[in-house]
């Protein structure tokens, strides 16, 4: 693993591990390196190795999640290779918090919300998505993505306000679930015939098999997106652009799709823009703007050259010296309080700062 300071174009440090690195996660406090049967935890300020978690269950995909909230730095990873058990680990205090029996089958996706107070998971079947509270591991929500077929979940992400949860897979449908506020007391419904039948129906579920009654109590998608393709790996992000909720979907063939999201009524999301990220092609929905051609050079060289980006002092969440030189410790005041927020649709696509050859 090589760690670079992109602004200065210098190497910070490098580490070697006993086997292949399967995934890397980081926030402003910790850097996590996941191997198939071990996890390494580094201090982000000086890259010192703080903890090695050995003999973890075989994790061939490097599945793990790290809270972006560096005040808690919770880490989640599979606790079993045969069942959907989740180990919740405190990355700041370097201790196990709890284990969560999330699914019957092996895990396929894990993600924290921005505050690190909720954890969402999906199994390899991909039919049910569950949300748990952190750090106690209590189940808060259960959503059903589908019933007819098993899928491979490729992306699972919360919105920044934790109001929505998005799941995409190898199918053509992206599901967005709404995390309603949980209340113990509900207002009494008027004595209508439909209300009476609804109560009778819910009471009848107590006499049904647990698999059936559980399925009937699961919430469905609040909004959906019908992609014009299937079988491609994709990554989704729920964002706010120009104060409007948007769903961003990027695909393995190098396209970025931007959809609207009706945060009140949900329903089918509408495609509003499409960008090509691999070359100077014209946008299909906005043909008056051409993509700028990319120069064949490294990402570090790209961000090091002069650009027309706004002053870094006005960009929240950006640190001019966001990395450390060898032995240098980053002062606390350089850690911004919030993430970078995109508030202008003209910022898409970020072609001037793209990575090449599939780099993360």
> Which tokens hold the place of 245?
């909720």
Non-local (6+) Cβ contacts of 213 within 8 A are 205, 206
User: What is the pLDDT, as a whole number, of residue 273?
Assistant: 93
Q: How far apart are CA 205 and CA 115, in angstroms?
A: 35
User: What is the pLDDT, as a whole number, of residue 285?
Assistant: 43
How many CA atoms are closer than 13 Å to the CA of 155, on its beta-carbon side? 25
Long-range Cβ pairs for the range 77-82 (8 Å, 24+) = 77/34, 77/39, 77/110, 78/106, 78/107, 80/106, 81/57, 81/106, 82/106
Q: How far apart are CA 224 and CA 261, in angstroms?
A: 9
Positions in the chain short of pLDDT 70 = 146-149, 181-219, 279-360
Residue of 31, 5, 2 lying closest to 303 (CA atoms) = 5
Compute CA 139 distance to the chain's CA centroid, rounded to the nearest angstrom.
Answer: 19
How many CA atoms are closer than 13 Å to the CA of 329, on its beta-carbon side? 5
Specify which residues 88 forms β-bridges with: 76, 98
Q: How far apart are CA 353 and CA 5, in angstroms?
A: 15
User: What is the pLDDT, as a whole number, of residue 29?
Assistant: 95
């Amino acid at each position: 693993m090589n760690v670079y300071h992109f602004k200065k174009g210098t190497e910070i440090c490098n580490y070697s591990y006993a086997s292949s690195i399967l995934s890397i996660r980081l926030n402003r406090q910790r850097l996590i390196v996941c191997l198939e049967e071990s996890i390494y935890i580094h201090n982000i300020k000086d890259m010192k190795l703080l903890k090695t978690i050995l003999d973890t269950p075989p994790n061939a995909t490097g599945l793990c999640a790290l809270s972006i909230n560096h005040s808690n730095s919770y880490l989640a990873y599979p606790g079993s290779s045969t069942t959907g058990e989740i180990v919740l680990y405190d990355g700041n205090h370097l201790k196990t918090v709890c284990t969560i029996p999330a699914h019957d089958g092996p895990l396929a996706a894990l993600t924290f919300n921005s505050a690190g107070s909720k954890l969402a998971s999906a199994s390899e079947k991909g039919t049910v998505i569950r949300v748990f509270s952190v750090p106690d591991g209590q189940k808060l929500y259960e959503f059903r993505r589908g019933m007819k077929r098993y899928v491979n979940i490729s992306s699972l992400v919360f919105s920044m306000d934790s109001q929505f949860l998005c799941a995409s897979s190898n199918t053509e449908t992206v599901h967005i679930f709404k995390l309603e506020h949980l209340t113990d007391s509900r207002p009494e419904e008027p004595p209508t015939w439909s209300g009476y039948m609804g109560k009778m129906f819910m009471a009848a579920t107590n006499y049904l098999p647990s698999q059936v009654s559980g399925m009937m109590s699961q919430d469905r998608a609040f909004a959906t997106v019908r992609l014009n393709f299937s079988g491609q790996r994709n990554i989704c992000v729920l964002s706010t652009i120009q104060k409007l909720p948007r769903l961003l979907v990027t695909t393995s063939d190098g396209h970025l799709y931007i959809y609207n999201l009706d945060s009140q009524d949900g329903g089918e999301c509408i495609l509003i823009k499409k960008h090509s990220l691999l070359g100077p092609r014209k946008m299909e929905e906005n043909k008056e703007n051409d993509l700028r051609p990319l120069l064949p050079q490294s990402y570090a060289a790209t961000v090091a050259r002069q650009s027309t980006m706004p002053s870094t002092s006005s960009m929240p969440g950006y640190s001019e010296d966001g990395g450390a030189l060898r032995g240098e410790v980053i002062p606390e005041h350089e850690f911004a309080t919030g993430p970078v927020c995109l508030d202008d649709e003209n910022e898409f696509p970020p072609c001037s700062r793209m990575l090449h050859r599939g780099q993360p």
